[in-house]
Amino acid sequence: MDNTALHTVEAQIRDQAAAYCESGKVPGYVAGVHHAGQQTVVAHGVANAATGAPMLDDTGFLFGSVTKVLTTTLVLRQVDRGLLDLDTPVVTYLPGFALDSPGAADKILVRHLISHTNGIDADLYFPDAKGRDALKTYVDGLASGCGTLFEPGEQLSYSNGGMIVAGRLLEVVTGLPFPDLLAREIYASVGMTHSSTSAEQAILRSTAVGHFLDPETMSARPTNMFTLPDTWGPAGGTPIGTVADLLAFGRTHLAGGVSPSGTRVLSAESTALMRQVSYDMGTPNTPPLGLGWVLYPFGDTTVLAMSGASPGGVSILCVVPEHDLVFAAYGNQPGAIMLHDQLLRWLLSEHLGVPIPRLVTEPERDVDLTPYVGTYRSNQLRVDVSVVDGQLEERTTYEPADGSQERIFTEFAGGMTSGPPQRYVPIRPGLFAPAGYPLETFDGYLRLLLVSYHDIRDGQARFRNAGGRLTRRA
């Protein structure tokens, strides 16, 4: 990429970030692009609305679920060393691993943990523990509080629990606490010089905090909870770093596992394995999954991606191998995912010249809605689906298991424990779009807003899929 193209990218990010921030949608935003040997990072707005601290090029932020790609890389490093085998049952390494369904954990292989095909029903399980035994506490608690959504390998459901079990597995086979392993084998090897594994480390440098929209003042207020508990570290609860650090990690995957400094972080074979399709649900709202990476198809171009929610913020990391490009960004309000999507689509279509085909065409009329009506559940989540005025209406309710988890989830969600009813229009049998959105909204990253239903038996759908997460008919 020549300097003229770099300046165009920089100007586009600056203009779009400024417009988005100044419209009041997000207090601060930072984004970076590495393409063909050139790199730029742009920041705008404030990192903390309470203090007025500016968002800077090197401001740190919570990675959120982008951490899952780092955790998967750590697992594959141990596979490269012969310490782990992807097709070995997890209980071989973690004999105490169990779920509340007898024998269910015994069927889960190591690869199921990092391909989101494990079926562990623990997506909103938030045990509050700190320190060296946090992940052990999490895994021990699964036996009495969490069951399964499906048989391992039978379906795909985005899995925080799978990644946390993988983190505990890493601790056992390496003898190192997960934060130490992450710092030593990813941060140090990749050259992520400004990344940390805890709030205590991050407070020593410029770090952004998340925000939520205050319904009374309609202004952004800082979150009351900076990070999720230590138990969520491997799924994205605690790691913190900068856009430049994420770009370095993305470049490592572009280069077949070799970091920008020349360090071999992962074998070429394992790096390639992470990009291969592990499971494909065959529905537009859930792209195929590799190991760690979500494989977004934009026509013939595949974008390796992962976004990451944190309390009041959202990050994203995208790698485009065919075009030698990495895009990373963070906004400190949940709605920043819209700006992530806008910039990714601009980079693909305008900067790289990648055609972005329509993912969803005109809605189909006369779709029978009765197979989808009912109540669907997963860990502490209930979704009631009915038909209203020829559309599906969903009412989602959080049902906390105890006071501690209610407190954590409520803070993570900015005070909400249930959402307003959402109407969906049928696109085709089994696929629905939220009412009121132009259909081109779903051509990019925001295809995750679509909802699908699967495995119809005796005239009733068995699973509902929203954002890649399954709920099962009650």
> How far is the C-alpha of 118 from the C-alpha of 78, rounded, in Å?
20
* DSSP bridge pairs for 61: 241
Sign of the dihedral defined by the CA atoms of residues 288, 293, 297, 302, in that order = negative
H/E element, 133? none
Dihedral (Cα; 82, 86, 92, 97), 10-degree rounding: 130
> What is the C-alpha separation between 237 and 211, in angstroms, rounded?
16
296 with 308: CB under 8 angstroms?
A: no
**Where are the alpha helices (H) located in 213-311, listed in sequence order?**
243-254, 268-275
Residues 388 and 371: beta-carbon distance below 8 Å? no
What single string gives the DSSP state of each residue in 452-473? Answer: EEEEEETTEEEEEEETTEEEEE
Among the listed residues 23, 65, 307, 315, the single catalytic one is 65
Q: Which two tokens stand for residue 195?
A: 């990344």
CA atoms of 242 and 193, how far apart (whole Å): 9
Nearest CA to 452 out of 337, 339, 367 is that of 367
206 belongs to the catalytic site: no
Active-site amino acid positions:
65
